[in-house]
Every structure is written in C-alpha cells, then in structure tokens.
Chain A
Amino acid sequence: MGTGRLYAAVAAGGFRRYATYRTATAAGVFTNTVFGVILAYTYLALWHERPHLGGYDQAQALTYVWIGQALLVVVSVMGGGFEDELMERIRTGDIAIDLYRPADLQLWWLAGDLGRALFQLLARGVIPMAAGALLFPLALPTRPGTWLAFLVAVVLGTVVSFAIRFLIALTAFWLMDGAGVAQVSWITATFCSGMLLPLNVFPGVLGEIVRALPWASLIQAPADILLGAADPLTVYARQLLWAAALLTAGRLLQSAATRRVVVVGG
C-alpha cells in the first residue's frame, strides 16, 4: 500500500518533469507530424507498386505510419527516456544516492518512465495521430474496446522497452560511457520494432526472427491490435513473456552492478 503510493508519486513526478518542457514538446509534436507526412507519402508510393504488401491495404498502411509516429517517443524507440539520466548518474557516482534510498532501483526508474510515457502519449501521441487522421484516409477502429486493447498493448510495450533500456543503462557500470551501446540499441530498435517498415513486410526467416524478438512488442504489437490483425491475448502473452524475462535479467544485472558501486565516484 505504502509502496504503491511511493511509486505512484515517482510516476507523477516523471509525468510532470516532461510536462515542464513545453517548447521541446511542441517542437517534438511538429517533428512527428512532418516526419509522419513524409513517411505516409513514401508508403503510398510503396503500396501503389506493391498493393497488399505485408497483408495491409493502403488505408491500413497509412494508419500504421501514424501509429508509429504516435508511439515513437512513448515507447522510446530512439532513446530519450530515463536511460540517459541513469547512465549519467552511474558515471558521476550520483547513483549512490539512489542506492541508499529505501526504494527499489528498478521499480523506481520503471515508475518514472511510465509517468514519462503517459505524458508523451497525451502530448506526442494524440496530436500527431489526429493530424494524420485529418490529412489522410486512415483505417481507425470505431469500437472503444479495440482502442482500450490497443492502450494495454502500449503499456506493455513501454514496459518491455523499459526493460531493454534498463539493461543498456546498467552497462555504464562496466563501460563508464554507455553512449555507444545506447546508439546500437536505438538503431536495432528502429529496425526491429517496426518503426521503419511493418514487420509483416519482412520475408521468410528474417520476418520470423524480427517478429519473435522483444522489439516487436514496442510498435508492431500495439499496431496489430489497433488494425485488428492479431488477437490481443496472444499479443499480450508475448509481451508479458518478454517483459518478465528482461526485467528479471535487469534485476540480476542490477545486483551484479551494485557490487561495483564502490569504484564509481570515490
């Protein structure tokens, strides 16, 4: 009970921290929208040449573009979440402060990241999606239940994304500078989450592999639900499995890492 209120407060803080930077948010919304328009015309050209590519018709393909733009920062495909800050705290030794607190490191940062994601969903998710719906003919569902199922997948996708980024951030305990690992991680995520192209488009074994990897939980999974292309429960099961596995890995790495605090920050 008490614990729940603590992490709720941390999440609320995460939400407000991002809400503070209004100009940055406005610039981000603008970028997402412009990028969405460019990508939409690219997809139009592609689907004109290859109709029903990946099993999507044109409207579905366009919808997929705007789902991607709406979720890009929410599930933090290209970084920009808590991980930069956590790596910086490890590098400077500020992590010592986080460790003596009567709170769990992983849950603390997860709560803060979920707060961030909620703000990003409202600001940088809703507005570009609305813009996309105004500019292009999208295949959006009319049943509220489908939207609700979609939101659940977005939450789970954020947790999977957090779990990956937590692992990445902890490498800073050993590498001191985690920027290189973080960059590799963003590139991998951009490709494997379905951010560039829907994962259904990838052929054969490659397709099988990318769809099975954890990054598919970030964008492809929620998109499948919103487009009615997959059964929500199957999607959730896969997301939960990855979340559990990666969070556990993060926990193991965390206990190994905290034994190293020592050297960091004197």
Chain B
Amino acid sequence: MDGASVDGGFIELERVEKVFDVRRRTGFLKSERRRVRAVDSISFTVARGEMVGYIGPNGAGKSTTIKMLTGILTPSGGRLRVAGIDPSRERTRLARRIGVVFGQRTTLWWDLPLIDSYRLMHRMYRIPDLRYRQNLDRCVELLELRGLLDVPVRQLSLGQRMRGDIAAALLHDPEVLYLDEPTIGLDVISKAKVRDFLRELNAERGTTVLLTTHDLQDIEQLCSRVMVIDHGRLMYDGPLAGLHEVGDSERTLVVDLERELPPIEVPPARVVRVEGSRQWLAFPASESAAPLVARVAAEYPLVDLSVREPDIEAVIAKMYAGQAGQAERAVS
C-alpha cells in the first residue's frame, strides 16, 4: 500500500504556513490589506494508529490546519503529506481515505431519514456492498443507531445526530479520522458514548485520529499525545501530563473545615482563598492529591473536600504567559 513514508509518519507537516490576505474597510471605498498568519511554520508528524489531541483557543489555527489536511485549503508554504498524498493536489483521491466530522456542522441530509445519507455515502465512496453492510451494522450497534435509521435527521437530538455523523464518516473505512469538536454541546452520557466508540475504533481498527476539542476530558480519556497551537504556532507537543508541567498548571483542593480557621499550612500547597470555613488550596497539577489530603485530614478538622482540575484554557494561558516571560528575559 502506498502511504506512510519511510520514517513511519502518516501525517507529516514540515514548516507549513497559511497566510491570508484580509481586507478591512477603513472608510467609504477605502480598504486596507492585512496579512494574517493563521498557521505559522508548523511541523509535526503523526504515526499510523496514533490518537492525537489538537487543542488551542478559538482562532488559534486549528480549523485552518484541518482544512489543509483535507485539501480544501492549499498551504502558502511548507510541505504537507497525508498517507503520502499532497492533499490540495489530490483532494478527491485523499477524500476516499479520510473521514471528517465537524461537531458544529453536519454532512447528513437534513430532511431525509438517516439511512438515506448512508446510502449516499455508499455511492459516493464506492464502498463494496458487503463491506458497506458490515460497517453499517457495526456502527449501528456500537453507536446505538438502531431505531434511528428511519428518522429524518432534523428530528434527531444533538447527541443522536453527532453519532449519526460519526457513522457517516466511517462507512468507507477511512485510515484517518479528523474530528473537530466531536463532543461539543453533548450531555455527559452522549459524550461517554462517543468517547467509548472512538477508543474502540482506534484500538480495533488502528484508525489514526486527530481530535480538536475544547474539552480537556476528551483529551484525558482518549489521547496519549497532545499538541497545543496558539497564534498559528505549535506551543507544545507531548504527553498530556507534560503539558501541565510546562504550563505550571495547578489543581485546586477545596476543603470544608469544622469552623473558621486562619489559612492552613500544608506545603507545597498554598491557600489562595478563604471564605468562612471553606478554604481553597492550590498545588502543582503534576503532584498527587492523596498525600496532601491525608495531611489535611490528619492535622485539621476536615468535614468535606473536592479536587478541581485546571481547564485547558487556563493551562494554555499560563504556558503562553510563561513563554512570553522567558522571551522578555532573554531580550533584557
């Protein structure tokens, strides 16, 4: 099979750039051209079968990267290959080997029963009849679509529609699946269903998955590797735990004590807030909460407690501030 290059990279980006000319109106009949670097010299490699989280704030360049990977957009510079194919040159050939799910958009026929959209995929991707049947049966079972196939898409709930869209993207056995916010707006149960399915897909079929999300739990539960992009640049590429270290992120231990007390002392945690008998303690996300909890319980009259995880935005914001600080120090 043609595809992965010698070094095993299935998706390869080498100093890829995308520059947009944005015209802004500055007055009547006057406008000003501005160059926007949506993606600024990004390089990474994803091996076949990997499941990678691709995260960053809104407007960071995530969707632009995905669009270049599908071939809808042509990079302004650099080299980009998916399965050995240059996406923008051979968009149609590549389309038969990739699947794309946009959480906020649908590929399904709004007015027609779900099954009609699947029949269309059957023709569009020229899926052999037997394989189509097997894949459909499998998706229907794992994504719990039985009973929904004859329902018009407009009558489906958001969670059902999302599962319907994921099935539509997988009927042709894509080698790589791009997911753009696949759990956005879903309730807890629907999120769990989608995540379970993706984990199984990756484990059983070895489908390479590139996942864009705002939900840190998506990443925690699915991806061993995470890439962070901001302002078009790759800020971090590695395991999720390492992201917390790089970003110096902190978890918060919220303790309810029997009575109002002065700020308690349990280093390395420090009290960041006191409100009546409740106190908030910040500690490094890379450390376990267990010894800390044990010490608080042993030394203070503890009633109740909870641990809050840092959210991805905060981690990235901190990381970004940290890098900017380093850069400043380097200059001065």
Contact = CB atoms under 8 A, between A and B. Distances in A.
A232 interface: no
Nearest to A6: B123
A17 B107 CA distance: 15
B180 to A, nearest CB: 10
Nearest to A261: B72
Given A2-B123, A96-B102, A262-B73, A13 B112 contact: yes
Contact of A13 (B64, B73, B95, B120): B120
Nearest to B63: A266
A39 B64 CA distance: 54
Contacts of A93: 105
Contact of B96 (A92, A96, A97, A102): A102
Contacts of A101: 95, 107, 124
A263 B59 CA distance: 12
Interface string B94-136: 0110001010011101011000100110111110000000000
Contacts, number: 72
Nearest to B96: A102
A6 B125 CA distance: 9
Contact of A16 (B73, B91, B116, B123): B116
A6 B107 contact: no
A20 B124 contact: no
Given A9-B119, A100-B72, A100-B100, A263 B20 contact: yes
A26 B10 CA distance: 54
Contacts of A265: 63
B67 interface: yes
Interface in A108-147: none
A61 interface: no
A262 B73 CA distance: 7
B99 to A, nearest CB: 10
B185 to A, nearest CB: 16
Contacts of B59: 266
Interface in A210-266: 258, 261-263, 265-266
A173 to B, nearest CB: 13
Contacts of B125: 102
A102 to B, nearest CB: 4
B73 A100 contact: no
Contacts of A99: 72
B41 to A, nearest CB: 18
A5 B95 contact: no
A2 B72 CA distance: 23
Nearest to B172: A102
Chain B contact surface mostly: mixed
B96 A100 contact: no
B47 to A, nearest CB: 23
A16 B116 CA distance: 10
A96 B124 contact: no
Chain A contact surface mostly: helix
B152 A20 contact: yes
Contacts of A102: 91-93, 95-96, 124-125
B22 interface: yes
B45 to A, nearest CB: 22
Contacts of B120: 6, 9-10, 13
B70 A100 contact: yes
A102 B85 CA distance: 15
Contacts of A5: 123
Contact of B112 (A2, A6, A16): A16
Contacts of A261: 67, 72-73
B164 to A, nearest CB: 14
Nearest to A260: B20
A265 B71 CA distance: 16
A6 B124 contact: yes
Interface string A156-199: 00000000000000000000000000000000000000000000
Contacts of A46: none
A94 interface: yes
B85 to A, nearest CB: 13
Nearest to B99: A100
Given A9-B119, A20-B112, A263-B22, A97 B67 contact: no
Given A13-B112, A261-B72, A266-B63, A100 B95 contact: yes
A96 B152 CA distance: 23
Interface of A: 2, 5-6, 8-10, 13, 16-17, 20-21, 92-94, 96-97, 99-103, 258, 261-263, 265-266
8 contacts: A9-B124, A20-B111, A20-B112, A96-B72, A96-B102, A102-B93, A263-B22, A266-B58
Given A261-B72, A263-B22, 14 more contacts: A5-B123, A9-B120, A9-B124, A13-B109, A17-B109, A20-B111, A21-B111, A96-B67, A96-B105, A97-B102, A100-B72, A102-B91, A262-B73, A266-B59
